Structure 1
Amino acid sequence: MLQKLREKTSGWIATVILGLLIVPFALLGINEYLVQRADTSVARIDAPPPWWPDAPAWWPASMLWEHEQITQDEFRERLDFQRQRMRQALGERFDAREFDTPDMRRRILDVLVDERLAQMAARRAGLAVSDALVRRNIAETPAFQVDGRFNQERYLQMLASAQPPFTPRGYEQRVREELERAVLTGALESSAFVTQAELAQTVRLLGEKRDVSVLTLPAPAADTAAVSDAELQAHYRANSARYRMPERVWIEYVELRAADLPAPAAPDEAALRQRYEQEKNRFAAAEERLASHILVRVAEGASDADRKAAEAKIRRIAAEAKAPGADFAALARKYSDDASKAQGGDLGWLGKGATVPEFEQALFALKPGQISEPVKTEFGWHLIQLREVKAGQARPFEEVREQLATEHAQSERERVFGELSSQLVDATLKNPSSLAPAARALNLQVRTLGPVSRGEPSGILANPNVQRAAFSDTLIQDGTVSDPIELAPEHIVLLRVTRHEPERLPPLTEVRERVAADVRAARARKALEARADALLARARGGETLEAIAAAEGLAAPETHAGIRRGQPVPTPEASEAMFAVPAPAAGKRSFGRALLEDGRAVVFAVSAAQPGRLEELNPMERASLQQPMAEDAARREIEALLKALRTRMKVTVNEANL
């Protein structure tokens, strides 16, 4: 039997079949191995081909799928960007640890995924961003303009000083990707509209006006009746969260601030002159060159034929530009592919480091009035004209003396502050259980603060870093002095927790008076509510508010005509209740009541309701209402689009890399 099996599987047919099976399994295994080894993405988006939306996700059909990754670098860059925005917005209240939570990371990743989905959808729908649109977007960016016009020098300086810095090509790609992401959502935003029926219905509700009579019940007299133990126990148990005592600390601390230190001695003339000689280069203006250029752009990935055509074109332009009487600015406006063409190729004054190396080398080799040979850079081919040279000049000592004196005083203050900070830390390390010895050694005052509850912005504990240290387990358990905490530049504080009280529910005996007061307040409010309900029942039974007021010895009801929705008349909570009851039928009234925050109550009768009318709005009012409605509609459409894209495309989050 085994011999027959061996004979059946040793023929050439079996060999061919086995070989055909090995190839796909081997490729599949290698692919899985490489993907697992090389996958450093935070998220992966897989999309079937547009022409086969139901394509299966298994191999070999998966080879037709489009694959996009959100890398760790992209995610980290966006996380850092959002962190900086939050720090600028919150200032000292910013807490980096609260910002960098798993929930925050996931929300930032979701935004990145949505942006990439929109970009992929736009590309798959055939929507493209032209080079001209990218250049126009850059040229219209206010940060790159001087006196309302695009300035090449400022543009390059801004890119170089960005964090992280950009090359011009890299920034153009960044802008292109942003425009690709916005092209689809922007189309939805610009096409969103509100129908007349929707607008009319909104105006009917928001513009509604009501005529109301209001009877006010005064706050009841203080409840002075005794509170039984049973009432105390019941109220205490039902409202235990109200009586919990928050976690609290008592601290002692010392502050060291450079602004409080004695002013340093004024430097002598010799010291200032020595400093000037040592830093003379800092006061010398660098050489600058006034340049214009003509660019023949070569697209990334261009064919050899296109590259040769671009080179031939720039050489023809060079010959024309060097001809006697040629107008370089006119040629730039005619031929250049750069945004500076509108200014005749003017790049402004350029110093070293402002341009790419090839351009800079050619520019600084020219003499005023000269035009370079064609220069190739990553953007394409340039023709450069040097119009003027501004030589660098050193500022004299007398001109910068005050600046040097100020800098000397600042550096001396920083030096003294640094020395005192080190001495303070060394002193606390020798005696970490008390701040008094260190304070005596440096003639500082030990201050105390407390009790302060967690989250309470009191004194220096208003600073989140100080509060985080004061409520840290280490300082609470050990009672040691903290590390220096920076409140501001050259301003530090060291603290020690002298007493800590954890969050707790005090026994009833400790809060008995407070609970009793709350019970009395609740009884009074319940009595007021019962009285308001009784008067409301009488009004619904046909008795007028005027008759009720006379019978109860209350002030006559107030009449308010044409109260608008949201108008706080007589109070916000009363107005909300007035518009919560149904609009009355003709000749009828709608009744209601409301308890007010100040302890009073109102019983009211709505006698008429006039819905808002669209035709009564002027064009400005209509536009101010229609625009936010359209924006809200666009937001809902974009959310629906992204939800649909997530359904059609497969999004996989790599939690390990997140």
Structure 2
Amino acid sequence: MAMMISKFHKIIQSKIVWTAFAILISIAFVGIYTGQKASSDSQQADVRSEAAGMLFGEEVSRQEFGRAYQYVYVMYSTMMGRALNITEEIDEVIRQAAWQRLATLKKAGQMGLTATPDQIRDMIQRQPIFQNQETGGFDRNAYNAFVSGFLPRTGLSAKGYETMMAENVLLNKASSMAAQGALVTDGEIRKAFHLYSDKMTVEYTAVPRSLVGAPEVGDTEAKAYYDRNPDQFRMPEKVIVHYVQYPVADYTNRVTVTDEMVATFYESNKQRYLKPAAEGALEDAAPEYLPLDEVKGSIAELYATELARQEAFNAADKLVARLSDEGTVFKDVAAEAGLKIVSNTPAFGATDRVRGVDPSAPFARAAFNLEQDENHYYSDPVVGRDFVYVISLEKKLPSFLPAFDIVRDEAIESARMAASETAYVEKAAEIHAAIEAALKSGKSFADAVSKYNLDISTTEPFDISTPLEDEFGREIMGATVQYDAGQLVDLISTPNEFLLAYVASREKADEAAALPALRESLAESIRNEKSSRLVAAWQESLLIEADFEDLTAEAEDNES
């Protein structure tokens, strides 16, 4: 899980610098919280009375937690430019982010912080996705397209988005106090300058796995591995569901796309229709776009699909509203609506791809948020690209651990792979230690490596701002940047093998010539990074201060 989170953070960090989002949620993944129903007033009161957790001695309802969960999802989907799917690991992290959001909002209330209409409007207008690509200012058409095209796929209305941004203003204010201690010294700026600008040359070699023999693994080792790693062999919880579906294509003839709508979309998304620069064209030449008449058909088709999807959602939502009436049954309500119930779907787990279901819909996650009681056995509309679904939970199958004899072959193979990996890691560490000792005795890197018959490669001179064109360029750049000339780098992990790397040279950049132009941007970057860490630490401590208790996690543990 840690590796997945790390990869996601790298994606996020490469797409945004220091925006309001970075301070609002310091650790979060994404997913749709699909546990709340469009139910009657009495049932909504029942939902509100069910506590999802405790913060500052007060109950947090499932409805309140679900809204925070959804807001985090929408924010990260916005930054990534698409409605993101969810896995079990992602769900775990977004839950943490939602709780941090709630704790920070409650803290903001204790501090007496407020959000004015002007501050909310400014927060919305400063979002990068609403900036006009030519003028750089707020683009009302881009905002309208976002509200009508993107938000419905996340289950959030325009009013809900404005409420979310009002909360974001409060989060920004509360978190900014934690970030005030982010001071930057001249030494830190100079260090960052050299990390960024120094030219390095690195010698390296791979440690082949062939240096380690295949370990012998039998039943004894396999059983010991099985006993140490029961979760690896545990069969996951599964569910059996029935559902009805609303094909988006069935609604395309019920919607109308006007020329004005097409023109508005075209103007708001002109970069999609940018013509490639003509050969020999000047760099500062005005951009040329495909004319509206050429792309009008594809835009109309895209718009019609989005409107049809909304119509399918509305139809599904009416079914959900009908299910909320007392005494109704899924089978009967579906029959009233003239819908066929799909009842032959095999049992599936929370992260499984469900057979016969639109893979873009968060179907499995929605199913696993259901409970076998009269108020929570059916889902809200679950929206995919081509279908919208309403799900009815039929049965939950608990997780269980199969006996060793049943998974013996899998256990033997897993134990063999684990033993092989352990032996390889130990061998690589042994070689690294031997080479380090040889270097300290005065030998060159080439001489130290020669006893192992390993081939040495040498990189071109590089700095951190220029991609290293090498098979392992990214790994080498990331691992060596903080080392000086003549130092052996810690073992570098690649997808298949470890690398042994030695910094052959490091040419110091000229501070007098280049640092003045970079000083302000480097200081800002360091300040932002420090602020991010301070805010993350403050949010973590805030949960402790609030005596945080997650009752949803306890409920899941009790069920398992």
Return the TM-score normalized by structure 2: 0.47
- Bigger radius of gyration among the two: 1
Structure with the larger strand share: 1
Scaled by the length of structure 1, the TM-score of the pair is: 0.41
